[in-house]
Chain A
Amino acid sequence: MTSQADLQMEITVSRMLRVGVTTAALVVLAGATLYLLRDHGTAPDYRHFHGIPIPADKFAPVLQGVRRLDSRSIIHLGILILVATPIMRVAFCLYSFARQKDKIYALVSGIVLAVLLYSFFRP
């Protein structure tokens, strides 16, 4: 019984993952194509690290960039969709365990979700 519910949950979750990954890959592909066609003159030097931090929780600059059709922002949007996909998976498992009234696993999923959200929205 529980096993059947688990299987159903996993099938739904794996479909969600596939949709998320496909969407992310298409957005990244669009951004990369634009990058190659238009912005290739300004390729940075990856041999030396000079990382420009783009905090994951700062959606506003990424979305503004997407509106301007900035290729790097579009790639960033795809990456954010990709990273959000497993987080959505854990959130859905939390919901499913809560519906099955499985308190232990609702709590376990909650802990995992909290760790993921901490990493994403870290102060």
Chain B
Amino acid sequence: MHTIRLAAAFMRPRILKSGSLRSLMGPIEFTLAVLFTSAFAGLLGALTGLGGGVVIVPALVLLFHIDLRYAIGASLISVIATSSGAAVSYVREGLSNVRIGMFLEVATTLGALVGAYLTTRVTTHAIGIIFGVTLLYSAWSSFRAKQDELEATPNALAEKLNLKGDYPTVHGPQSYTAHRVPAGFGIMFIAGVLSGLLGIGSGAVKVLAMDRAMKLPFKVSTTTSNFMIGVTAAASAGLYLGQGYIAPGLAAPVMLGVLAGSILGASLLVKIRVPILRAVFAVVIVALGIEMIYSGATGRL
């Protein structure tokens, strides 16, 4: 009994210490710590292809004990920066499809408005749990086989909306047509809701809509998705600003850090193959997902 009490007495200061990392740091240390954590999140997001948002929100909430609303506000800003910054090279290769992107942005921006509105109505516990589930799905999706199952059959709705194109492959230009357009549009709406609710790009769900539902080539799906993320996030940003979710002193290091990290990650991806690194990072993301669900369920968010 004594031993337990003694142990508890020793444990308590340590728990307090780790529980209030923030209060031990001065503002400069805090800002620098957030900056480096964000750079790491951006690097991780670029290497896994999941985006910086899914890593930075749990990191801010779990490590720095920052309120979930400030975390998703700062994350959303970093998402706009990375999406818009990364688009140029993909476009040159002729991979992203401007019409398919614009058509689906109708669904994602409307979804983002609904999601951003929901953040003001749903408790942070619920948001934490939804975030965790989205993290787990994202990690799982990054392991999925990336083979294309293109359908050559024409599609009446896709024909009418001009949802088709061709993209460069090793065997020359390969043409493609969208299928199951309403299903893809519906999944894109959900991707928009998640983006607005969680302050992330929800690239994994966007790719699901295009690659799986609409049977578009994987490379076209990922590059078009990246292009759409900035527009989707911009739809939530107005509401976030109006709600006071975007704290300048926090959003600044998060935006600059994630941007720098993802630029570094993108340049590393070109030079090296990273399947093992990817697997390690996926484990990190699964752990963050479980921790978010646990924290949300136990009301610690």
Contact = CB atoms under 8 A, between A and B. Distances in A.
Contacts of B103: 105, 108
Given A18-B88, A56-B238, A83-B234, A25 B247 contact: no
A55 B155 CA distance: 44
Interface string B223-245: 00000001101111111011111
Contacts of A60: none
A31 B221 CA distance: 36
Given A14-B91, A49-B67, A116-B109, A29 B234 contact: no
B94 interface: yes
Contacts of B246: 54, 79
Contacts of B62: none
Contact of A116 (B22, B67, B235, B249): B235
Interface in B118-163: 161-162
A53 B102 contact: no
B18 interface: no
B84 A56 contact: no
A98 interface: no
Nearest to A54: B241
B88 A14 contact: yes
Nearest to B251: A79
A86 B230 contact: yes
Secondary structure at chain A's binding surface: helix, strand, loop or mixed?
helix
B256 A29 contact: yes
Contacts of B87: 14, 17-18
Contacts of A3: 165-166
B27 interface: yes
Contact of B102 (A56, A75, A112): A112
Secondary structure at chain B's binding surface: helix, strand, loop or mixed?
helix
Nearest to B192: A115
A79 B245 CA distance: 13
Contacts of B102: 90, 93, 105, 108-109, 112
Contacts of B236: 119
Contact of A46 (B66, B166, B233, B238): B66
Contacts of B84: 17-18, 20-21, 82, 85-86, 89
A101 interface: no
A13 B83 CA distance: 13
A1 interface: no
17 contacts: A3-B165, A10-B96, A10-B98, A11-B91, A21-B81, A43-B30, A47-B66, A52-B244, A55-B242, A75-B252, A82-B80, A82-B255, A83-B80, A89-B231, A119-B112, A119-B238, A122-B242
The 5 A-B pairs of least Cβ separation, nearest first, read A51-B244, A119-B238, A43-B27, A75-B248, A32-B252
Interface of A: 3, 6-7, 9-11, 13-15, 17-18, 20-21, 24-25, 28-29, 31-32, 35-36, 40-41, 43-49, 51-56, 71-72, 75-76, 78-79, 82-83, 85-87, 89-90, 93, 102, 104-105, 108-109, 111-112, 115-116, 118-122
Interface of B: 22, 26-28, 30-31, 64-67, 69-70, 77, 80-81, 83-85, 87-88, 91-92, 94, 96, 98-99, 102-103, 105-106, 109-110, 112-113, 116, 161-162, 165-166, 230-231, 233-239, 241-253, 255-256, 259
